Structure 1
Amino acid sequence: MSEEQLQQELARHNNRFLQQQQICNVLIYFFNATETFSHVYKPTANQFIPQAVNLADAFKEFQNVVFVHYFCDSMKEKFLKYYAHIPHIYGIAFILDPRYRLANLEDCFNFYYLAFFGEFPMYDDNPIDPKTEYNEVSTLFYALFNEFRAQYSNAPPPPSRTSSSKGKSIFKSAFGNLMKKQKQLTSLNKVH
């Protein structure tokens, strides 16, 4: 094999290696997200937005790479089928995580929608406004907080650690009240 043929063969192998490396760089984001959401014994809702932002970044970074965009486009389409709009519950879980809080949510929404949809976000001919999404989640969070504060502002102090059965009953009754409200709303909707 001549020197020139050897150089061409080396260049071809380097090109293949680079393509494989780029494919792996995209797939690692999906692996991390899948691994995070596969846990059944610990909460993962608070991790959705950070993982979604990472995925949006991966799609944006690799959308113009020749071999990667072949499968990346179908993965993006499938992901956006479910998450073109981030469900509000994930926003609230994100806010309640002390690592992130409300201040970071708007930046995450802006990045997510810009990375997936560009400067003028649209999905299925419907405009998506990150500011509106943020305001809706923020409003829901404050409504939830105010309801909690109203319910427990005059409540007696929490029980001591030695009396754990009382603590459990407080949480059970709060959950029970929530379930009763849900049943009442459901029955009212059936009447109308």
Structure 2
Amino acid sequence: MTLRPIPHILILAAGASSRMAPRDKLLEQIDGQPLIARSLRIALATGLPVTMALPPDRPDRWRAIEGMGGDRVTVERARDGMAESLKKGLAAIPPDAPVLLLLADLPELETADLLAVAGADPDFIQRGATQSGQPGHPVLLPAWLRPELNLLTGDEGARALFQRHKGQLRLVPLPDNRALTDLDTPEDWARWRALRHQ
């Protein structure tokens, strides 16, 4: 019996967070910890290997996760867009491993959500989704998709690839709105915190 390669988690944390300026959304506090640390913590709790892609010019992000475990890669050309972070991270992960792609700025995801998507059939693209079927994150990327991912450029995410391979895409429903909650502006954060503390 051939053993399947275990999934690796890749956390993308090299974005500019420009809509939050001068604040950095990955350093926003949630339950006493920066969002970037929370994202790394729930990923490490899966027991799967974890790699985080970080920019070279945000030392506060590096400090926020110091000593937490997992691997780090520096995305020297992070300003060129998300594709650079994705390709740099993928280069640090075994080529035959499925990759669970996790954006570092999703504040409602839990370890159980990551395990639900990572544990789905790795021969298919698996996307976290709402109960009503709206696709979101995280996303399990099969090893066979790797060559096409490495051709992405600029701020191009994998959305075009998901459309191209929609016959090989499956949705994994997650509780509430966890798969979609993404807070990009100070106003988004204020609304979210107000609702959370009602």
TM range (shorter): under 0.3
More contact order relative to length (CA 8 Å, sep ≥ 6): 2
**TM-score, normalised on structure 2?**
0.23
Name the one with the larger strand percent: 2
Structure 1 or 2, whichever has the larger Rg, is 1
**TM-score, normalised on structure 1?**
0.24
Name the one with the larger helix percent: 1
